[in-house]
Structure 1
Amino acid sequence: MKVQLLVSKWCPTCPQAEQIWGEAASRVPMEYEILDVGGRDGRELVSKLRIKTVPAVVIDGTLRTVGVQPLGEVLKLLGAAA
């Protein structure tokens, strides 16, 4: 499973999302990366998937959620027990 967290330097909630998804990545086997929407890779993904807000989570190439979710919801999204 490939999980990409799209963030921005100006986003006030992105650090919280990074912390929660980082914790989830330590518990659930996945390929995890954080992409800044200001960088080339981030801009390409935002354009391809027409993402309008950050933080945004892309799992295996599909936009799955936006905003900050509690760890329990993130683990459920990943198919793991909370």
Structure 2
Amino acid sequence: MKVQILVSKWCPVCPQAEAVWKQAAEKVPMELQVLDVADREGREIVSNLRIKTVPAIVVDGALKTVGAQPLGEVLKMLGVQ
């Protein structure tokens, strides 16, 4: 599973989302990438998926959610009960 977190330097919520997803990556096998929307790769994903807000979570190429969720909710989203 490939998880990409799209963030921005000006986003006050992004560090919280990044921390939660890093915790989830310790419990669930995944390839985790944190991409700034100001960088080329981040801009391409934002454009292709028409993402309007950050943090945005992309799982296996599909937009899964936006915003920051608690760890329990993230694990449920990943199929861990």
Q: TM-score range by the shorter chain?
A: over 0.9
Q: Does residue 24 in structure 1 map to residue 24 in structure 2?
A: yes
Q: Which residue of 2 aligns with 1:68?
A: 68
TM-score of the superposed pair, with normalisation by structure 1: 0.97
Q: Which residue of 1 aligns with 2:52?
A: 52
Amino acid in the other structure paired with 2:38:
G
Structure 1 unmatched ranges of 5 or more: none
Query: What is the CA–CA distance in structure 2 between the aligned matches of 1:6 and 1:20, rounded to whole Å?
Result: 14
Structure 2 unmatched ranges of 5 or more: none
- Following TM superposition, the consecutive aligned residue runs of length 4 or more in structure 1 with deviations greater than 6 angstroms are none
State how many pairs are aligned: 81
Cα offset, 1:80, TM superposition = 1.1
Amino acid in the other structure paired with 1:64:
K
Amino acid in the other structure paired with 1:12:
P
Q: Which residue of 2 aligns with 1:78?
A: 78
